C-alpha cells in the first residue's frame, strides 16, 4: 500500500508546487475535497489525493481512475488512514 505521504498532498506541498501561500493552498484542497465528497468519496481534511490534484492542476486525465484509486462504501472502511509514523489526526 502506498503511504499517505505519497498518496496525498498537503497544503505545504501544494503551496511549494504552485508558489502560493499556505492559506490559498488550503482553499484549493478544501475545494477539491468538496468535489470528491459530492461524488461520494472518502476525504481527509487538509489533504488531497495526489492523483486527483495532478489531474485538476496539470490535466492528467489518464492518471486519475477514481474507481481504482478511491474506494467507495464497504471498501473504504478497510483503508488505513494513518501515515507511516502513526499520526493520522495531524494536519500539516
Residue that the C-alpha cell 488550503 belongs to: 26
Q: How high is the pLDDT of residue 18?
A: 92
Could you give the CA distance from residue 6 to residue 64 in angstroms, rounded to a whole number?
A: 15
Residues 6+ apart with CB under 8 A from 18: 25, 28, 57
Nearest-5° Cα angle at 36, 35 to 42: 145
Could you give the CA distance from residue 41 to residue 32 in angstroms, rounded to a whole number?
A: 11
The secondary structure of residue 19, as a DSSP letter, is T
pLDDT tens digits along 25-82: 999 999 999 999 999 999 999 999 998 998 888 876 665 555 565 555 555 555 454 4
Amino acid at each position: 500500500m502506498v503511504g499517505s505521504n505519497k498518496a496525498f498532498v498537503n497544503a505545504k506541498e501544494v503551496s511549494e508546487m504552485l508558489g502560493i501561500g499556505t492559506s490559498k493552498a488550503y482553499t484549493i484542497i478544501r475545494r477539491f475535497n468538496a468535489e470528491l465528497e459530492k461524488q461520494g468519496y472518502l476525504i481527509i481534511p487538509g489533504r488531497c489525493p495526489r492523483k486527483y490534484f495532478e489531474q485538476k492542476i496539470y490535466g492528467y486525465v489518464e492518471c486519475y481512475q477514481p474507481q481504482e484509486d478511491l474506494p467507495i462504501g464497504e471498501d473504504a472502511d478497510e483503508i488505513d488512514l494513518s501515515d507511516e509514523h502513526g499520526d493520522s489526526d495531524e494536519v500539516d
